[in-house]
Amino acid sequence: MLILASKSPRRQEILRNAGIAFTVRAPQVEEVRSAGESPESYVRRLSWQKAAAVERAKGEVVLGADTVVVVEGIVLEKPVDVADAERMLGMLSGRTHEVLTGVCLLGRGLEVSDIATTRVRFHTLTAEEIAAYAASGEPADKAGAYAIQGLASKYIQGIDGCYFNVVGLPIALVYGHLRGAGGLTR
Query: pLDDT tens digits for 130-143?
Result: 999 999 999 999 99
Give me the pLDDT at residue 182, please. Answer: 62
- Each residue of 53-102: pLDDT tens digit? 999 999 999 999 999 999 999 999 999 999 999 999 999 999 999 999 99
What is the C-alpha end-to-end distance of the chain, expressed in Å? 10
Tell me: pLDDT of 181 over 80.
no
In whole angstroms, give the CA distance from residue 134 to residue 89.
8
Catalytic residue list contains 66:
yes
Selected catalytic residue, list 66, 81, 84, 141:
66
Give me the pLDDT at residue 80, please. Answer: 96
Tell me: pLDDT of 176 over 80.
yes
DSSP β-ladder status, 96-107 and 74-76: unpaired
What is the CATH T-level fold of the domain 2-178, as seen in this structure? Maf protein (3.90.950)
Average pLDDT, the chain: 94
Give me the pLDDT at residue 184, please. Answer: 65
Give me the pLDDT at residue 64, please. Answer: 97
Give me the pLDDT at residue 28, please. Answer: 87
In whole angstroms, give the CA distance from residue 35 to residue 32.
9
**Which residue did the predictor score with more confidence, 12 or 182?**
12
Query: What pTM value is reported for the model?
Result: 0.93
* Cβ-based neighbours of 125, under 8 Å, separated by 6 or more: 89, 90, 92, 93, 94, 133, 155
